[in-house]
A and B are shown apart, each in its own frame.
Chain A
């Protein structure tokens, strides 16, 4: 008896070790349902709000590099014009924000996800925010540097930031250019292992010319002068607080949990993985803001019950990322206490076509030297694209959270192609698709599956494990089966799918299937880096451990040529044309089948809460200082 009990308990232990991994799925399906955004959500900066109503129309049609050469004043307008907090500083009681992922660290340079960036953003700020229209809005900077005002040099190699004078840290000490220089040194130190170190990539030096002037010098001409110190990632931290904690010592900094900042709030208490409470930073530069005396940012739980807390019970004023199934959401919204806040982002749920042969043997598997047995034929790819019902997918599965799209660049508005609407490959037409396959010589066999020259038209279609994505798979599968294609669905744990593990054949980078699906988008309003993902030089293969971003193994000299032009072009109108051309090429060549342009943020707010400006390019709490609440 005793022995059995003992053995039993030992067994429970092992269960306890392996059990929980599976368990979280049990309580509610919601956290998983909301996961597709994890990829998107991890990006504090995504595409600009084409739909954002606050931006003046003229401003919304120019892209970031244009801001470098034209109208900075227009860019600054939307927030300057934001109405002042009714009643002034501290007139409101507590602002209650609910995140279903809990922040674990408040130093955004060591952040592990959106939750951390957002929670940090109330305290520490970048020099300029990325506004809803994708253009910088000065925060600590006195103005946004452009070529016109001389802030950006003509050769696009140096950017001079003028800082607002008289800004103080929440501990009362002066904020100076030295803090900005230090922040660069901190985040670019490889030993610090900052998650935003990529923003400092390509920087030659950052120097302080005088206490209010910072000069950023790039190694190469950079068409995106706002790569560093703009938007929710490269926030400025205080030199005094962090100077002894650079490199390997980064983890020991007490400031990681309680950074001193220049933002509207300071941290009163932080329980990692649970809750952050903030109070007004008395030193904040705008004497009328913020409106709320205190802020509580509670983390944990799941998206569905977060929506319930905002829409039904009204316990919380703001709920982050409430992307649950649209029917469930509609039902919860009938609670009548809140509204959704969304804006179209540059994140696109897409199908990737494999140009290499995923079934080749041994070391040749999926190598760019091999050729896909049928996707190498453009007509076949076209037929596949035309059998995808993206509208049903967006309407039924996404609702407010996404719109059907046939573009791979969906923001900023100025670079969104209008040409794709009329393309054949963008029409949902199963009959025409069938005809194309007939014409291409792919005949249906007795089993209803098309074949040609002994090759059966059979595809394996992979994505991450996620209820929403599995439903998307079903919709796509249904369409392809009507073409006489055999479709095998595969789903991989997101942790594995997106990992960089060279030894794991199931990652998105290995792409050892015929088709795969996930969301991606430009992380900054400038799309240059994003479009680099289809270059011949970026093909993912064994020799680079599948680390590069061209998972398709697609290679096209014309596309590479266009990209080269884009990196050198400084005229904004010409840049926009190039981006549109590249987008059209990717779509018409069916390298990728765009499905849904996703919204970001997809959050909920109480009806009384005012002043929110949905902004897909920056933290969604970017203008929290402007938020107010009606009684």
Chain B
């Protein structure tokens, strides 16, 4: 197992290099530059724009910029944001709390809800509860988050005037009132994200449990007289969860990358919103930092998924 992990980690290096190269190339070759906002502004003539570009180091060819970026990245220097002129890391640090508070919570909520619902709805296939769960899962799965988001805003903010739809990141939870305010402003974005994620995981769990139920080992377990909870808990669920674990592990990095659309709708200052704005403003160092960290996380969580596989299913050997 140890050797397997080391081997995979070594293999990850060229993969990440390749990914960073592709990312950087895509960003550099994409049209637009950080000064394009000023383009039609006669107060900022092209000479001034060129000068600013030079000061940002954008006058060099992109392969050179890539090598420079890579070298400083290896030394832990992520560069500075073109927009704010502060180190990228400082900018990310500001965003991580909101991202975790909203996207992270939604992720946990969806797991806590989805797995039990999926299992129960498989065990009681075609029951009323299964129908309801399946229908809701389909709705959640098919409705895009920007639509559910808007629906919630119009219902709870505009019509009922109960919840604010603009996230206030300056709010500090100090007492019951501020806690209530924090809950009020988080509930809609969390609900939107959780609905979507729960739906996905419910479908997976249900399908996987259904697949396992008619298998021989389940019948064996039953015929040797094990109680239903033991059969389900120890045998069925354990086996059924293998694909679910993959899904969960592989989607865990998205907690970091944030929820692009939902964050935009509710103005949650998370990493997703930062990514979108940075892409719009061609703030390459920020975009690179976010996408590259995301890549590293995906590679790591892939490895983690594989390791958990082995724990859940002893038949899998890594030598």
Contact of A301 with B267 in the complex, beta carbons under 8 Å:
yes
Does A273 sit within 8 A of B, measured CB to CB? yes
A44, A193, A233, A549, most chain B CB atoms within 10 A: A193
A496 to B29, CA, bound (A): 12
Query: Which of A15-23, A410-418, A562-570 contacts its partner?
Result: A15-23
The verdict on A550 contacting chain B, using a C-beta distance below 8 Å, is no
Interface string of B131-153 (1 = CB under 8 A from A): 00000000000001010011001
Determine the distance from Cα of A302 to Cα of B153 in the docked complex, in whole angstroms.
14
Q: Contact at A5–B246, with CB atoms within 8 Å?
A: yes
Contact between A277 and B55, CB atoms less than 8 A apart: no
| Chain B window 55-86, contacts with chain A (Cβ cutoff 8 Å), 1 for yes, 0 for no | 11000000000000000000000001111111
A110 to B51, CA, bound (A): 12
Q: Is B212 an interface residue (CB 8 A)?
A: no
Asked if A179 is at the interface of the complex by the 8 Å CB criterion, the answer is no
Question: Which chain B residues numbered 258 to 275 have a C-beta less than 8 Å away from chain A?
Answer: 260-261, 264-265, 267, 269, 273-275
A499 vs B38: C-alpha distance in the bound complex, in angstroms? Answer: 9
Report the bound CA distance from A2 to B23 in whole Å: 24
Chain B CB within 8 A of A296 CB: yes
A112 — nearest CB in chain B belongs to which residue? Answer: B83
Interface string of A6-18 (1 = CB under 8 A from B): 1001101110111
Given contacts A23-B261, A313-B158, contact A104 B83 (CB under 8 A): yes
In the assembled complex, how far is the CB of residue B56 from the closest CB belonging to chain A, in whole angstroms? 8
The smallest beta-carbon distance between A350 and chain B, in angstroms, is 11
Per the 8 Å Cβ criterion, residues 31-61 of A in contact with B are 38-40, 42-45
A18 and B158 form a contact (CB under 8 A)? no
CA distance A13 to B310 in the complex (A): 25
* Nearest chain A residue, comparing its CB with the CB of B164: A315
Q: Which of A5, A17, A312, A519 contacts B158 (CB 8 A)?
A: A312
Q: Is the CB of B31 within 8 A of A193?
A: no
Interface members, chain A 262-300 (any B CB < 8 Å): 269, 271-275, 277, 296, 298, 300
**How far, in angstroms, from A197 to B38 measured CA to CA in the complex?**
13
Return chain B residues, CB-CB under 8 Å to A198: 43-45, 48
Tell me the residues in window 97-123 of chain B with beta carbons closer than 8 Å to chain A beta carbons: none
- Contact (Cβ within 8 A) B265 A27: yes
CB <8 Å contact, A523 and B166 = no
Cα–Cα distance between A313 and B153 once the two chains are bound (Å): 10
A253–B86 Cα distance when bound, in Å, is: 9
Q: Which of B279-300 contact A (CB under 8 A)?
A: 279-282, 291, 294-295, 298
Kindly list chain B residues whose C-beta atoms are within 8 Å of the C-beta of A14.
19, 22
Q: Is A206's beta carbon under 8 Å from chain B?
A: no
Residues of chain A within 8 A (CB-CB) of B96 are none
Interface code A547-572, partner B: CB below 8 Å = 1, 0 otherwise? 10100000000000000000000000
B36 within 8 A of A: yes
Which residues 145-173 of B sit at the A interface, judged by CB distance below 8 A?
A: 146, 149-150, 153, 157-158, 161, 164-166, 168-170
Decide if A309 is an interface residue (CB 8 Å cutoff): yes
CA distance A23 to B145 in the complex (A): 12
Task: For the complex, give the distance between the alpha carbons of A518 and B39 in Å.
Answer: 11
Chain A residue, CB-CB nearest to B45: A198
The listed residue (B153, B260, B277) touching A102 by CB distance below 8 A is B277
- Interface pair B250/A196, CB less than 8 Å apart: no
Indicate if the CB atoms of A42 and B38 lie closer than 8 Å.
yes
| Min CB–CB distance A174 → chain B (angstroms) | 28
Q: How far is the CA of A191 from the CA of B56 in the complex (A)?
A: 10
Q: Does B305 touch A at the CB level, under 8 Å?
A: yes
CB-based nearest A residue for B83 = A104
Chain B hits for A39, CB < 8 A: 39-41
- Interface secondary structure of A, over-half rule: mixed
Q: How large is the interface on B (under 10, 10 to 19, 20 to 34, 35 or more residues)?
A: 35 or more
Residue pair A195, B52 in contact (C-beta under 8 Å): yes
* Cβ-defined partner of A105 (8 Å) among B45, B84, B277: B84
As a 0/1 sequence over residues 162 to 203 of chain A, the CB contacts with chain B under 8 angstroms (1 = contact) are: 000000000000000000000000000011110111110000
Closest Cβ–Cβ distance, residue B303 to chain A (whole Å): 10
Contact B267 A298, beta carbon cutoff 8 Å: yes
In the docked arrangement, what's the CA distance between A40 and B38, Å?
9
Q: How far is the CA of A250 from the CA of B51 in the complex (A)?
A: 14
Which residues from A are CB-within-8-Å of B211? none
Q: Is B235 an interface residue (CB 8 A)?
A: no
Bound CA–CA A252/B282 (angstroms): 20
Smallest Cβ-Cβ distance to A492: which chain B residue? B31
Contacts of A2 on B, CB cut-off 8 Å? Answer: 306, 309
> Does any Cβ of B come within 8 Å of A308's Cβ?
yes
**Cα–Cα, bound, A45→B43 (Å):** 9
Chain B neighbourhood of A335, CB < 8 A: 158
Cα separation A518 to B36 with both chains bound (whole Å)? 14
User: Does A256 contact B44, Cβ atoms closer than 8 Å?
Assistant: no
The verdict on B54 contacting chain A, using a C-beta distance below 8 Å, is: yes
Q: Is the CB of A98 within 8 A of B166?
A: yes
Q: With A27-B146, A98-B166 known to touch, is A275 a contact of B269 (CB < 8 Å)?
A: yes
Q: Do the beta carbons of B306 and A273 come within 8 Å of each other?
A: no
B48–A197 CB distance below 8 A: yes
Q: Mark A238-251, 1 if CB is under 8 A from B, else 0.
A: 00000000001011
Q: How far is the CB of B265 from chain A (nearest CB, A)?
A: 6
Query: Which chain B residues (18-55) contact chain A, with CB distance < 8 Å?
Result: 19, 22-23, 26-27, 30-52, 54-55
Is B265 a contact partner of A17 (Cβ separation < 8 A)? no
Residues of A contacting B81 with CB < 8 Å?
Answer: 104, 272
On whether the beta carbons of B264 and A9 are closer than 8 Å, the reply is: no
Q: How far, in whole Å, are A197 and B54 apart by their CA atoms in the complex? A: 15
Chain A residues within an 8 Å CB radius of B213: none
- Supposing A20-B276, A26-B146, A45-B43 touch, asked if A499 and B33 sit within 8 A by C-beta, the answer is yes
The reply to whether the CB of B15 lies closer than 8 angstroms to some CB of chain A is yes
Let me know if B31 and A273 touch, CB within 8 A: no
**B interface footprint on A337-370 (CB within 8 Å = 1, 0 otherwise):** 0000000000000000000000000000000000
Closest Cβ–Cβ distance, residue B297 to chain A (whole Å): 10
Contacts of A316 in B (CB 8 A): 166
* Bound-state Cα–Cα, A298 to B83, Å: 17
Which B residues are in CB contact (< 8 Å) with A519? 40
* Interface membership of B179, Cβ < 8 A: no
Report if A498 contacts B (CB, 8 A).
Answer: yes
Shortest distance in angstroms between B39's beta carbon and chain A's nearest beta carbon? 3
Q: Determine whether A504 belongs to the interface, using a CB cutoff of 8 Å to chain B.
A: yes
Task: Check B302 for interface membership: any CB of A closer than 8 A.
Answer: yes
Instruction: Give the residues in chain A near B54, CB-CB below 8 Å.
Output: 193
Asked if B186 is at the interface (CB within 8 A of a chain A CB), the reply is no
Can you list 5 A-B pairs, Cβ within 8 angstroms, ordered by A?
A: A13-B291, A27-B146, A193-B54, A272-B81, A499-B32
Extra pairs beyond A18-B26, A504-B31 (19, CB < 8 Å): A5-B246, A5-B305, A17-B291, A23-B261, A24-B264, A27-B149, A44-B43, A105-B84, A112-B83, A193-B54, A197-B51, A253-B85, A274-B269, A308-B153, A313-B164, A315-B166, A495-B32, A518-B40, A547-B47
Residues of chain A at the chain B interface (Cβ within 8 Å): 2, 5-6, 9-10, 12-14, 16-18, 20-21, 23-24, 26-28, 38-40, 42-45, 98, 102, 104-105, 110, 112-113, 190-193, 195-199, 233, 248, 250-253, 256-257, 269, 271-275, 277, 296, 298, 300-302, 305, 308-309, 312-313, 315-316, 335, 493-501, 504, 508, 518-524, 529-530, 533, 547, 549
The 4 closest A-B pairs by CB, nearest first: A498-B39, A495-B32, A39-B40, A193-B55
